[in-house]
């Protein structure tokens, strides 16, 4: 099985390194990841500017582009037929309406356009800027990914996986749940700078938690999986 790995936190970030370790146990792995962080870039593509494409090591490349660019380049320029695209592990959840803004998710959405199924993985953090113990999301991702690979899906399908912040809890006992995507928008506010400019203030912790959907499931300490 040939696996293309990317992310939106940038080549060499801790989350993608963990994902690469897991992918290497499942098949032959290639990496094409953004040369710099591209969080919140959504499905933006680079059309009018050249992109530096640098080989870092065997089967590993950085691209001066977006996550969607990385997948498009990986699927079309590496002379390899890929079976799956993995994206992540992102630092920060991508739940509900976040999927429209996420570069992590856009990567697997782009793969689906080429009829290659994908898995996007993100780690929820109760405090966004807090340090992340990457061993915990890695343990949970290692449980989840093989189960998803066994499922019968269309080549245009992709999964969005959000891993809860369990601190130093037991990753082996965390429940893994298939849920629906929460369609509620984020509570939004804007502050005003001294010069009169507006500054976005997302109220992430105040978002609506619909029972049975991904936001409430992940915030409740369970792995949420949505199929698209």
- Residue 87 has a CB neighbour count (10 Å cut-off) of 36
End-to-end CA distance of the chain: 22
Could you tell me where the beta strands, DSSP code E, fall in 35-194?
53-57, 60-63, 84-91, 118-123, 158-163, 176-178, 188-192
Per-residue pLDDT band for 130 (boundaries 50, 70, 90) equals: confident
- Tell me the pLDDT of the chain averaged across its residues: 96
Q: Look at the chain and count its residues.
A: 228
Instruction: Say yes or no to pLDDT of 5 above 80.
Output: yes
Residue 119: CA count within 13 A, CB half-sphere? 29
B/e letters for 55-85, b = 16+ CB within 10 Å, e = fewer, are: eeeeebbbbebbbbbbbbbbbeeeeeebbbb
DSSP designation for 38:
-
Residue ranges of the domains in the chain?
A: 2-183+210-227
Residue pLDDT, tens place only, 23-81: 999 999 999 999 999 999 999 999 999 999 999 999 999 999 999 999 999 999 999 99
Q: Are strands 84-91 and 2-6 parallel, antiparallel or unpaired?
A: parallel
The 3-class SS string of 81-100 reads CCCEEEEEEEECCCCHHHHH
Average pLDDT on 121-130 reads 87
* CATH number of the structural domain 2-183+210-227: 3.40.1210.10
Residue pLDDT, tens place only, 131-158: 888 999 999 999 999 999 999 999 999 9
């Amino acid at each position: 099985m040939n696996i293309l790995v990317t992310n939106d936190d940038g080549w060499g970030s801790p989350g993608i390194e963990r994902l690469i370790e897991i992918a290497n146990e499942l098949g032959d792995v290639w990496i094409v990841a953004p040369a710099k962080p591209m969080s919140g870039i959504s499905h933006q593509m680079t059309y009018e500017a050249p992109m530096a494409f640098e080989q870092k090591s065997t089967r590993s490349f950085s691209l001066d582009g977006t996550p969607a660019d990385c997948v498009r380049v990986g699927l079309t320029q590496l002379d390899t037929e890929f079976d799956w695209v993995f994206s992540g592990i992102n630092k920060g959840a991508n739940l509900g309406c976040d999927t429209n803004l996420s570069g992590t998710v856009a990567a697997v959405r782009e793969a689906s356009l080429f009829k290659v199924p994908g898995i996007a993985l993100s780690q929820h953090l109760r405090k966004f800027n807090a340090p992340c113990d990457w061993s915990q999301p890695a343990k949970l991702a290692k449980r989840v990914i093989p189960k998803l690979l066994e499922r019968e899906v269309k080549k245009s399908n992709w999964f969005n996986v959000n891993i809860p912040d369990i601190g130093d809890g037991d990753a082996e006992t965390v429940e893994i749940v298939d849920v629906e995507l929460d369609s509620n928008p984020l509570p939004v506010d804007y502050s005003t700078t001294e010069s009169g400019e507006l500054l976005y203030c997302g109220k992430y912790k105040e978002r609506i938690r619909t029972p049975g959907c991904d936001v409430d499931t992940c915030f409740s300490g369970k792995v949420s999986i949505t199929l698209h």
